[in-house]
A and B are shown apart, each in its own frame.
Chain A
Amino acid sequence: MSNNLFNRVWDLHKVSSLSETMDQLFIGLHLVHEVTSPQAFQALRERNLSVLYPERTIATVDHIVPTQDQRIRPFADSMAEQMLAAIEINSQEFGVQFFGLGSESQGIVHIVGPENGITQPGMTIACGDSHTSTHGAFGAIAFGIGTSQVRDVLASQTLALERLKVRKIEVSGSRSSGVYAKDIILKIIAELGVMGGIGYAYEYTGEAIASLSMEERMTICNMSIEGGARIGYVNPDQTTIDYLRGRPFSPEGAAFDKAVKFWQDIASDERSTYDDIYQFDINSLGPMVTWGITPGQAISVEDTLPIVSETSESEREVAKKAYEHMGFSEGQKLLGTPIDVAFIGSCTNGRISDLQEVADVVKGRKIASTVTGLVVPGSQKVKKEAEARGLDRIFTEAGFQWRDAGCSMCLAMNPDKLTGRQLCASSSNRNFIGRQGAPKGRTLLMSPAMVAAAALSGAIADVREII
């Protein structure tokens, strides 16, 4: 029996057996951000502990930072200011490398890691954020943790964890025009359900995954957690190797060759075994849009909304609640539904290729006057590259606001929020009630190109009819 990547990486990082089912696992990279770390650093102070592997710990700020006038301190929000000050002090006091505001490497933690070559295949990666699964795109075992576990990793560089089962998700076929990585993952979640992945790591494989760029793979792995899977990964291949070559934290010269050997050896192969296999073809996949209050409540954009009585019993209660919150009717189409806000950004879709896709749709056009459009680059590097390509001008000429890097309206911890019952076409990852900052605000998740199409039309539209 040959192991898959998940088990190979796990075995390599196992420090000890804590019980029959619980292992102590070494964490090769600990990413830290401002929101889930202050209590953890404080716990270290209280116990008189230091950060055990500061060289394997990297911090940045993303969740709470304003995306306008970002460098004007103190912030208008005194709590945000205090939170920023805390990570600045903590990273200095504990000797942790910090990409703060003003650093050219600042940005959403799940964008900063990959674009700097910090995220590499075969690593274990933890961060106090559920979208840490993003880094699995490189063939790393990457997962979100709570603040007590952030404390554990800071102090011991290890975690007490149980091994997961592995489900191979084999994706065949090829995408038609107007269909993106976001549509693939929304379809997988709709099929397997929002709790289908509990207890599993998802291995995404097959010809459709192999043909994706690294940034597209990140979008897919990012939303694994929305399907209940704490971990999602893609085996490293030539696309991975080509992406990593020449990045600031990537090995160079002979060391890069050694790294490539390790990355190739750690990948699953044709003899690898799995606890479960799910096969799925994307030849007929269309653009997906969520209509409810969980990421699993999604339909193809041309379809009609489900009839509650026809859904399975376990889905019915949430479907009812979704209709109540969203104000939609059973059996209606989403096409033509007016939107108020269009949000482009987040760790799901805030990378340069996402912004390029949006620019390709909106170039030379204007967004509807009834729509507030926001483009928030995922990092300072994404921002710089977008400006070098002239994308910022395309966005602003179309009527979008062009902002500084951060998580922004994905979770609305900064001033970027929906108000009232606004309906937002969003490239982010969660359509939970109140997620975008207004208790009655409403979110429709879709690909960045679909958000762009909705912004232009002022209503939900099929991007295939525009491009």
Chain B
Amino acid sequence: MDTNKIIVKEVSGTVLPLKGNDIDTDRIIPARFLRSITFEGLGEQVFCDERFDQAGNPLDHPFNHESYRGAKILVVNQNFGCGSSREHAPQAIMRFGIEAIIGESFAEIFAGNCTSLGIPVLTASIAEIEALQAHAQENPSEEFVVDISHPHITYGARTIALQINDAAKQALLNGTWDSLETLLQERQNIAATAAKLPYISSFPYPQSTG
């Protein structure tokens, strides 16, 4: 078994500011790119319909800007990743090169999917996010450091405190963000829990339905 123990305690790199509220996962990765049985290639397709016109010519979009090339930290606004539960969305962002996302707020399923991939998702106030985005726009080559254990971001002489979900923080710092191994350790308790569920023990699905 793959014993994944990659600890995520810090992400450093330049920032890619992406403005806008309610950016949904259909926009992050349009459904036609979900037709593959692997996640390969999604990094090139991220935000495809906003980054390219119908003929494939690049449009003015932060993910296309030369100055943000190689950015590791994505800074977004409110309710980022709403809509479809497709893990393809954080997969595409991750495969583009992003290693941490900071925003005003995140849709729940999207944030959970990020944690499952070892991508820290952190929040800050509207004013702090806007300041961060403005600073990155003016200083696209500046290096930022995101610390997970005492969540904050540092750039130049400034430090902004960030919030992170406690459970996600522990999973990242312990390297247990791939939860499967942890879950499988409870095999006996899993069986015991199943056995006491009335719909399994007392009135299970009829045998004949197979």
Contacts and interface: CB of A to CB of B under 8 A. Distances in A.
B22 interface: yes
A130 B193 contact: no
Contacts of B190: 15, 26, 52, 156-158
B49 A21 contact: no
A256 B35 contact: no
Interface in B180-202: 180, 182-184, 186-187, 189-190, 193-194, 196-200, 202
Contacts, number: 231
B85 A128 contact: yes
A14 B37 CA distance: 32
B32 A158 contact: no
Interface stretch (B63-71, B105-113, B146-154, B156-164): B105-113
B104 to A, nearest CB: 9
Interface residues of A, number: 92
Interface in B102-147: 105, 107-109, 112-113, 116-117
A67 to B, nearest CB: 15
A149 B116 contact: yes
Nearest to B19: A317
Given A35-B86, A321-B20, 20 more contacts: A24-B183, A24-B186, A63-B34, A82-B37, A83-B35, A120-B199, A122-B198, A129-B85, A145-B85, A148-B117, A160-B183, A226-B83, A230-B109, A249-B206, A251-B206, A259-B199, A411-B26, A412-B31, A430-B26, A435-B26
Contacts of B87: 36, 128, 146-148
A39 interface: yes
Contacts of B1: 47-49
B203 A130 contact: no
A243 interface: no
Given A149-B116, A412-B31, A19 B167 contact: yes
Contact of A14 (B83, B179, B193): B193
A199 interface: yes
B179 A152 contact: yes
Contacts of A248: 206, 209
Interface in A92-129: 97, 116, 118, 120, 122-123, 128-129
B112 A146 contact: yes
B197 A12 contact: yes
Given A19-B166, A158-B186, A318 B21 contact: yes
Contacts of B109: 130, 143-146, 225, 230
Interface of A: 12-16, 18-22, 24, 26, 28, 35-36, 38-39, 42, 46-49, 52-53, 55-56, 63-64, 77, 79-80, 82-83, 86, 97, 116, 118, 120, 122-123, 128-130, 143-149, 151-152, 155-160, 162, 194-195, 198-199, 225-226, 228, 230, 248-249, 251-252, 255-256, 258-259, 262, 293-294, 314, 317-318, 321, 411-413, 430, 432-435, 437, 439
A18 B182 contact: yes
A26 B193 contact: yes
Contacts of B178: 148
A145 B54 CA distance: 32
Interface string B94-107: 00000000000101
Contacts of A144: 85, 109
